[in-house]
């Protein structure tokens, strides 16, 4: 039974005429960057300059750029054809249905319109140019001789179609057999890119008897070489079987590169590929096994790379006005934190830390080549059901470049890089893992505790050095992995066991834990108030399919992304007075850590990495304010987050029962902590001051020290208190309520026209 024959009613000669008219007459109002300034100064018949309107494609042909070998790529935009034809239903739709045929038709028309070069192009001559010149001279001497050159041999350009901007990018799984031969757009993540290799388009042979050249047009990946000379005038006429030898330098090659994409599951390097979906049969032994099956590929004509990092995001005037309004909001820090995963109840300090993780600190490169990372690493430990995975999912989606993976489903090479054999070139190539795909982004690793220890060690270098060193299968290289690590893990026994130490509950190596800037332990402790509010929150979300109403309007994730992009443009520095404050605080923290170790109460260790973590958090807070300098309040908030993360590791009964959870009590403890820090700083300054006074002559300075020591009552500036409390997420009304309440209890009093708060000593 013969296959049915389908006749398509298309006159290709008429199609060539339409194509020729389009290329010759289409005018564009916008100036192409490729065209440069070639037509400036030309005038119409009425004397008006023709700068705004120009014949777009005629500027690429008669302007000699292709003929003079100044341009090798000719892109035909289907939007131009649609605008010229005034409809998509005719020529554009036929191009999209039968793209390979129309590539040939357009190329034939371009060959007709192609003029002779207008300048000396001898410096661009190749071997094939010499052969063509000699063949033309011989054909002129011999009557009736035919040139017989393949079209690809004469063309010094590659023609591509750019799809319509209205084309919807298809998922890989949606590409079906019905799309064969069509011009389609596919979206996916680039997982492997091969080297640029020469692809044979025209094979050239030379006869060892008559010396004539024979050219073979190659349209597939495999071909059968010609063995006998095809010259009718000499070899065949004289009955001689001349043997052909391949002449590589006379062949025509095109640049070939294979890009492997996979289904878009995370926002890594996401691209839209516009091209023709075509079949390709198997060859050799594979063809015997495959039988009637064929492989498929996409002949790419246009590649559009989506935004993959903050610096490439485009801001509209509406978003710019919204960013300016947010920047002046005194509650910005709290609003941004509350807007992260609003469907998840509570975890305000964790959300603040996640916001700072999105912003990040400032990465520095020292003159000798050493790099200091600015990305913040964070780990969420806790009981099941506290929404750790949901927070990770949200962060991976709100970040412009984020990769989500799980510990059980990720191996060491899956996180770093795998050495694969390229099926096209049979070479060993590297295929990037999750950490490489998340370069300049965030890598969220869930079920961190379920990873094998051998696989987990692959992350150590990434978390501190932000590189991946590979030495496998003869490949020795270093890949960039400038990413923040956001990990989530469960305790060793599923739920947190308060009867054993936090170190035993966490069950992660100390070398890995020290690389996390923040480590939060989220416990599911039963309290009536929290349980009731949580249940009300969850039921509201299920009833209304949205989060409950807040006291303010939440910020849209798109606006959050753009605001963070603007914030990351700033590179705040640490002024001298803030630097001294950080030094004093670090020394105090080291002393506290040493004392706790002596009393065997320490569950964490304060090291130089802790100091760097405070600096990163403080720089991220300064970035949120669009400031180029780190302030005291930024350092205080960074220290508070550090203290909150450490306090979460302590499961003392005093911490569980004694502390009141009301906002007034939280603000009071915040002010009390400021007083302790101020007192410690004053003691340090007294110590240094007394040493300096002891060196100088005279007793007047000693009297000044004594007068300072007499003033034991601690005073805090209301400006510092207001700044610290508001940046911690509380309101002005809550602050005033706290001040009045504890003033009534004779804990403090306001002095100096209410500009300072003085603590009252109690017996």
Question: Does a structural domain hold residue 619?
Answer: yes
> CA 717 → CA 23, 490, 678, 707, 747, distances in Å?
75, 43, 11, 20, 16
In 314-434 the beta strands, taken as DSSP E runs, fall at 364-365, 371-372, 378-382, 402-406, 417-421, 428-432
Q: Is residue 258 assigned to a domain?
A: no
Helix (H, G, I), strand (E, B) or coil at 246: strand
In this structure, the answer to whether residues 629 and 736 fall within a common structural domain is no
C-beta separation of 277 from 179 below 8 A: yes
Task: Please indicate, yes or no, if residue 344 is contained in any of the structural domains.
Answer: yes
Phi, psi of 432 (to 5 degrees): -65, 145
For residues 635 and 672, membership in a common domain is answered with no
* Contact call for residues 64 and 115 (beta carbons, < 8 A): yes
At residue 706, the pLDDT reads 41
Residue environment code for 333-355, b if the CB has 16+ CB neighbours within 10 A, otherwise e: bbbbbbbbbbebbebebbbbbbb
Same structural domain, 610 and 666: no
Centre a 10 Å sphere on the Cβ of residue 657 and count the other Cβ atoms it contains: 7
- Give 29 or 689, the one with higher predicted confidence: 29
- Are 643 and 508 members of one domain? yes
CA angle 640, 625, 589 (to 5 degrees): 25
Q: Do 612 and 472 share a structural domain? A: yes
- CA dist 226 and 224 (Å) reads 7
448 and 589 part of one domain: yes
Q: Are residues 510 and 456 in the same domain?
A: yes
Average pLDDT over residues 468-488: 78
Residue 232 lies in a domain: no
Q: How many CB atoms lie within 10 A of CB 5?
A: 5
Give every CB contact of residue 378 below 8 A, 6+ residues apart in sequence. Answer: 353, 354, 357, 484, 485, 486, 487, 516, 517, 518, 519, 520
* pLDDT band, very low/low/confident/very high, at 438 (cuts 50, 70, 90): confident
**Nearest residue to 748 (alpha-carbon basis) of 718, 705, 703, 707:** 718
Q: What phi and psi, each to the nearest 5 degrees, are found at residue 10?
A: -130, 125
Q: How confident is the model over 104-141, as pLDDT tens digits?
A: 888 888 888 877 777 766 666 666 667 767 766 666 66
What digits encode the pLDDT tens for the residues 641-688?
888 887 766 644 344 444 456 788 888 888 888 887 777 666 655 554
Torsion sign over Cα 451, 455, 458, 460: positive
Q: What does pLDDT average to over the chain? A: 75
Do residue 461 and residue 585 come from a single domain? yes
Written as six digits, the tokens of 350 are 């964790």
pLDDT value for 315: 74
Query: How many of the other CB atoms lie within 10 Å of CB of 461?
Result: 17
Instruction: Kindly give, in sequence order, each residue whose CB lies less than 8 Å from that of residue 620, ignoring residues fewer than 6 positions away.
Output: 356, 357, 359, 360, 361, 376
Which tops the pLDDT comparison, 609 or 647?
Answer: 609
Domain encompassing residue 485: 317-406+435-648
* Sequence-distant contacts of 534-538: CB under 8 A, at least 24 apart: 534/345, 534/346, 537/345, 538/345
Provide the pLDDT for residue 36.
39
Domain boundary among 162, 193, 223: 162
Query: Is 294 within the bounds of a domain?
Result: no
Task: Specify if 283 maps to a domain.
Answer: no
Please indicate, yes or no, whether residues 666 and 644 belong to a single structural domain of this protein: no
Burial class (CB in 10 A: 0-12, 13-18, 19+), 661: exposed
How far from 757 is each of 131, 460, 679, 717, 743, CA to CA, in Å?
94, 47, 14, 6, 10
Report pLDDT for 654: 41
**Between 320 and 472, the higher pLDDT residue:** 320
Which CATH number characterizes residue 557's domain? 3.40.50.300
Query: How many domains does the structure of the chain reveal?
Result: 3
Helix, strand or coil, per DSSP, at residue 243: strand
Single out the residue in 97, 127, 162 at which a domain terminates. Answer: 162
Contact indicator for 193, 257 with CB cutoff of 8 Å = yes
* Calpha distance 92→85 (Å, rounded): 9
Is 703 domain-assigned? no
Is residue 644, in this structure, part of any structural domain at all?
yes
Q: Is the dihedral of CA 575, 576, 578, 583 positive or negative?
A: positive
Q: Residue 393 above 70 pLDDT?
A: yes
CA distance 272 to 186: 6
Would you say the pTM of this structure is higher than 0.85?
no
Q: 648 exposed, middle or buried (CB, 10 Å; 0-12, 13-18, 19+)?
A: buried
Residues above pLDDT 70, as percent of the chain? 76
What pLDDT sits at residue 657?
Answer: 40
The 3-class SS string of 527-554 reads CHHHHHHHHHHHHHHHHHCCCCCCCCCC
In the chain, % of residues over pLDDT 90:
0
Q: Who contacts 389 (Cβ-Cβ below 8 Å, separation ≥6)?
A: 446, 488
Whole-Å CA distances, 225 to 205, 248, 419, 716: 9, 13, 34, 90
Domain boundary among 115, 145, 162: 162
Confidence of residue 719 (pLDDT cuts 50, 70, 90): confident
* CB-based contact 53:42 (threshold 8 Å): no
Whether 526 and 614 map to the same domain: the answer is: yes
Q: Are 631 and 647 in contact (CB under 8 A)?
A: no
Up-side HSE of residue 83: CA atoms within 13 Å toward CB? 14
599 and 743 share one domain: no
Q: Does residue 560 share a domain with residue 501?
A: yes
| Euclidean distance between CA atoms 521 and 501, whole angstroms | 13
Is residue 423 very low, low, confident or very high in pLDDT (cuts 50, 70, 90)?
low
Q: How far is CA 644 from CA 53, 528, 582, 649, in A?
A: 64, 22, 18, 9
């Amino acid at each position: 039974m013969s296959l049915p024959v389908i006749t398509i009613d298309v006159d290709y000669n008429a199609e060539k005429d339409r194509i020729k008219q389009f290329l010759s007459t289409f005018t564009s109002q916008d100036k192409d960057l490729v065209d440069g300034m070639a037509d400036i100064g030309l005038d119409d018949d009425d004397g008006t300059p023709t700068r705004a309107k120009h014949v777009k494609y005629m500027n690429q042909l008669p302007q000699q750029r292709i003929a003079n070998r100044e341009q090798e790529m000719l892109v035909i935009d289907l939007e131009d054809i649609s605008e010229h034809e005034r409809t998509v239903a005719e020529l554009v739709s036929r191009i999209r249905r039968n793209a390979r045929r129309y590539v040939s038709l357009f190329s034939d028309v371009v060959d007709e319109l192609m003029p002779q070069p207008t300048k000396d192009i001898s410096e661009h001559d190749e071997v094939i140019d010499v052969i063509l010149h000699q063949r033309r001279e011989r054909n002129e001497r011999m009557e009736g001789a035919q040139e017989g050159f393949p079209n690809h041999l004469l063309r010094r350009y590659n023609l591509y179609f750019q799809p319509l901007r209205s084309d919807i990018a298809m998922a890989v799984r949606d590409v079906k057999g019905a799309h064969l031969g069509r011009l389609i757009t596919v979206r996916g993540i680039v997982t492997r890119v091969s080297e640029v290799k020469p692809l044979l388009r025209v094979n050239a042979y030379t006869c060892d008897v008559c010396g004539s050249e024979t050219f073979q047009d190659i349209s597939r990946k495999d071909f059968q070489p010609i063995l006998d000379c095809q010259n009718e005038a000499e070899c065949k006429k004289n009955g001689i079987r001349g043997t052909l030898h391949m002449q590589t330098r006379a062949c025509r090659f095109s640049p070939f590169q294979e890009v492997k994409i996979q289904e878009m599951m995370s926002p890594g390097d996401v691209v839209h590929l516009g091209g023709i979906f075509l079949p390709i049969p198997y060859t050799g032994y594979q063809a015997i096994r495959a039988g009637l099956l064929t492989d498929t590929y996409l002949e790419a004509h246009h590649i559009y790379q989506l935004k993959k990092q903050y610096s490439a995001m485009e801001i509209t005037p509406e978003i710019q006005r919204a960013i300016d309004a947010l920047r002046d909001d005194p509650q910005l820090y709290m609003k941004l934190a509350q807007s992260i995963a609003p469907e998840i109840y509570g975890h305000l300090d964790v959300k603040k830390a996640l916001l700072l993780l999105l912003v990040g600190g400032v990465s520095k490169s020292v003159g000798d080549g050493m790099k200091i990372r600015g990305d913040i690493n964070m780990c969420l430990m806790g009981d099941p059901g506290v929404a750790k995975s949901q927070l990770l999912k949200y962060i991976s989606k709100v970040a412009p470049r984020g990769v989500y993976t799980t510990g059980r489903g990720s191996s060491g090479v899956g996180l770093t890089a795998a050495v694969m054999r390229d099926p096209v070139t049979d070479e060993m190539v590297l295929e990037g893992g999750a950490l490489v795909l998340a370069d300049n982004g965030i890598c969220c690793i869930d079920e961190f505790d379920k990873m094998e220890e051998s696989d987990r060690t692959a992350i150590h270098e990434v978390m501190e050095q932000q590189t991946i060193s590979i030495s496998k299968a003869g490949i020795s290289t270093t890949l960039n992995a400038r990413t923040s690590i956001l990990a989530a893990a469960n305790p060793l026994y599923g739920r947190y066991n308060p009867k054993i130490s936090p170190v035993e509950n966490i069950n992660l190596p100390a070398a890995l834990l020290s690389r996390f800037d923040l480590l939060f332990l989220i416990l599911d402790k039963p309290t009536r108030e929290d349980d009731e509010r949580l249940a009300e929150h969850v039921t509201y979300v299920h009833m209304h399919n949205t989060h409950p109403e807040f006291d303010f309007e939440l910020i849209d994730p798109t606006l959050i992304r753009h605001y963070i992009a603007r914030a990351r443009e700033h590179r705040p520095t640490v002024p001298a007075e803030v630097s001294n404050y950080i030094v004093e605080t670090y020394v105090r923290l080291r002393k506290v850590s040493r004392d706790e170790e002596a009393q065997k109460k320490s569950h964490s260790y304060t090291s130089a990495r802790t100091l760097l973590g405070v600096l990163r958090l403080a720089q991220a807070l300064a970035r949120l304010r669009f400031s180029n300098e780190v302030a005291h309040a930024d350092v205080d908030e960074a220290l508070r987050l550090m203290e909150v993360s450490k306090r979460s590791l302590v499961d003392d009964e005093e911490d569980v029962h004694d502390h009141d959870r009301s906002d007034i009590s939280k603000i009071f403890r915040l002010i009390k902590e400021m007083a302790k820090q101020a007192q410690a700083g004053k003691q340090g300054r007294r110590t240094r001051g007394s040493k300096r006074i002891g060196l100088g002559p005279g007793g007047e300075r000693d009297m000044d020290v004594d007068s300072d020591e007499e003033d034991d009552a601690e005073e805090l500036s209301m400006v510092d208190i207001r700044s610290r409390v508001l940046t911690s997420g509380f309101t002005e009304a809550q602050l005033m309520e706290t001040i009045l309440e504890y003033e009534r209890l004779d804990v403090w009093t306001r002095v100096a026209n209410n500009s300072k708060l003085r603590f009252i000593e109690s017996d």
